[in-house]
Structure 1
């Protein structure tokens, strides 16, 4: 895991896909195309004009304010940079640790829980087209997150890999009130995840 660039390097650099700012954002928020093409140049411009950012936590808050100004398509693209709950491949080291994949002395997640999570992800994405379930894990097990997802979806707690059927779900209206609420909740949880990552690097 590479470290965060220093705050002076972030604030003094010029905008580019390889800038210190882009690198920092990719660590804190997970990399996504919209992060590089939209968030990085937007923040670089605002920071160069009149920066009052004095900490990484303030940088995260500034980024969240910028994201809140985007159209919903860009916002949903931003949250898609985070892996699905229960994924075990192609994870950043931070995501793997947060999801319970790297904890010395703790048994790996049982395969039936991973299968349930895969089904719950499919169900969630059928109910909320264009969104991905994001939550601040905060040290909880994948089984606990599966139960949280079941509660969100209105399911009984279970380890079934295919019930209820995905085709039985009625999608909510894209850009409707419920859909927007889930989108905004996901973005706020990504902010909470980003701030928790600062502790890994011993910064604020």
Structure 2
């Protein structure tokens, strides 16, 4: 699929807007519920980067939940958890974009096992979250060192912010690739 002109967003159907969000971020009913009511009405986007920054702002606002606000926390974690685990062995469950982005993370069996173990430790350390990083050409070793550092830091709120930044960086990269492919 390609992206329509940004100027056309206000006239698109809900289904088309959902498909665009799914292409840029990952399929997430929680993201649809958060973004769709305002994407069309806030309008005036002059670029996909502007749209993605706007959605990032909505996510950061959601991340500003109070500790007792489990509904907002669960909604945020559902959105952040829509991204696949890095090195996920079940490739058929990944979106086309995720398969391409994770291609560099292929490695030997020992490294694959280490990455699965880090995913497990990360998710135990940060219940309800999944490690999200903008791979952007980085190899498996660099990604695993980043994951280890984030686990060691142990700051769940910072992890939420890191995941939002990564999701937006990934979405901008995807938008750029999709737009270039349609030229």
TM-score, with structure 1 as normaliser:
0.75
* Structure 1 residue 13, shift from structure 2 partner: 2.5
* Structure 1 residue 73, shift from structure 2 partner: 2.0
Equivalent position of 2:21 in the other structure: 25
State whether residues 100 and 109 of structure 1, in contact with CA within 8 Å, keep that contact through their aligned partners in structure 2. Answer: no
Equivalent position of 1:152 in the other structure: 150
- In structure 1, distance between residues paired with 2:12 and 2:128: 34
Larger RCO: 1 or 2 (CA < 8 Å, sep 6+)? 2
State whether residues 104 and 138 of structure 2, in contact with CA within 8 Å, keep that contact through their aligned partners in structure 1. Answer: no
Equivalent position of 1:94 in the other structure: 97
Aligned length in residues: 169
Structure label with greater radius of gyration: 1
* Structure 1 residue 153, shift from structure 2 partner: 2.6
The one of 21, 26, 32 equivalent to 1:36 is 32
- Deviation by residue 1:97-130 (Cα, 9 ceiling, x = unmatched): 111269xxxxx42222111111101101111111
Structure 1 position 60 matched with structure 2 position 59: no
Equivalent position of 2:119 in the other structure: 121
> RMSD of aligned C-alpha atoms?
2.1
Equivalent position of 1:78 in the other structure: 79
Name structure 2 gaps, 5 residues minimum. 63-71
State whether residues 79 and 186 of structure 1, in contact with CA within 8 Å, keep that contact through their aligned partners in structure 2. Answer: yes
Structure 1 stretches of 4+ with a deviation exceeding 4 A read none
* Structure 1 residue 143, shift from structure 2 partner: 2.8
State whether residues 11 and 21 of structure 1, in contact with CA within 8 Å, keep that contact through their aligned partners in structure 2. Answer: no
Equivalent position of 2:109 in the other structure: 111
Name structure 1 gaps, 5 residues minimum. 103-107, 156-171, 173-177
* Structure 1 residue 146, shift from structure 2 partner: 1.5
- Deviation by residue 1:28-68 (Cα, 9 ceiling, x = unmatched): 10111202233222323x33xxx231111101011111222
